[in-house]
Amino acid sequence: MILTPGTVCRLVLLVIFTVVIQVSGIESIPLLGGTIDLIPLVVGAVALWGGSIAGAAVGFSCGLLLDFIVGQDVGASSLVLTGVGYFVGRYGEVNEPANALLPIPVGAATTAAYLIGTTIVSLMLSFDASLSILAFRDMFLTIFLNTLVALPVFALVRKIIRPVLTRDPLDRRRKRAAPIESGPIGLRGLGL
């Protein structure tokens, strides 16, 4: 990702927009008894397209803003989302995946990692917390709903950050191979 003031501005707006839309909009729309959680999807998308550093930074910012706005334990969400963003980014850097359907498993894995991480941190911070069936049901529904909306969310994030990307894995896939030259063997490559 090319780091310019424009890039920072773009990412800051994306973070604010995501967190505010999530806590004040999406969270009040129940679907099948659960709700979509945009935050891990956006962090996962930025990390996959932008790399581990961008993923970790956006994860940290989203988590911190979420903790501040909703009045949660400051630092808890940012800790989890930093890790999630970093490791999704590393996966993208190492494998350079070019499959257009990749956002589906990555979205599901990112959401699962975020929810499990949040659960572990909450259990560690609360004195007498316990895991209930409701928590499991919520987790499952959120992962399911996030998997359904992963493709459009990843596509939207890619569209927003594409101008500042140093490499775009999907573009590589779409590049057509050079035409095969034909003609007598001795004359190939001479442009005749």
Partner 1 sequence: MYDKKVVRRRRAVLGVLVAVSLGLLTVYFGENGGGILHSFQNGTSAVFSPLEKGVSIVFKPVSNFTHWTGDVFHAKKENKQLKQQVQQLQTELAQSQTAERDAAELRSLVGLPRTSNFAAGDKLVTARVISRSPTVWYSNVVINAGSGSGVHIDDPVIAAGGLAGKVTSLTGGEAIVTLITDESSAVSAEVMPDGSNGIVRPEVGNPNDMLLDYVDKGANIHKGDSVVTSGFTSSKLDSLFPRGIPIGKVTKVSPSEVEQYQRVHMRPYADLRRMNYVQVLTGNAQDQRAQVVK
Binding site for partner 1 (CB under 8 A): 16, 20-31, 35, 37, 39, 52-53, 56-57, 60, 63-76, 78-79, 82-83, 86, 93-94, 115, 118-119, 122-123, 125-135, 138
First CA to last CA distance, the chain: 41
- Cβ nearer to partner 1, comparing 137 with 173: 137
- Cβ nearer to partner 1, comparing 76 with 112: 76
Supply the minimum distance, in Å, between the C-beta of residue 72 and partner 1.
5
Supply the minimum distance, in Å, between the C-beta of residue 114 and partner 1.
9
Supply the minimum distance, in Å, between the C-beta of residue 42 and partner 1.
13
- Cβ nearer to partner 1, comparing 34 with 100: 34
Supply the minimum distance, in Å, between the C-beta of residue 182 and partner 1.
37
- Cβ nearer to partner 1, comparing 132 with 182: 132
Supply the minimum distance, in Å, between the C-beta of residue 55 and partner 1.
10
- Cβ nearer to partner 1, comparing 167 with 188: 167
- Cβ nearer to partner 1, comparing 32 with 192: 32
d(CA 101, CA 146): 14
* SS3 of the chain: CCCCHHHHHHHHHHHHHHHHHHHHCHHHCCECCECCCHHHHHHHHHHHHHCHHHHHHHHHHHHHHHHHHHCCCCCHHHHHHHHHHHHHHHHHHHHCCCCCCCHHHHHHHHHHHHHHHHHHHHHHHCCCCCCCHHHHHHHHHHHHHHHHHHHHHHHHHHHHHHHHCCCCHHHHHHCCCCCCCCCCHHHCCCCC
Supply the minimum distance, in Å, between the C-beta of residue 185 and partner 1.
37
Do 89 and 51 form a contact (C-beta atoms < 8 A)? yes
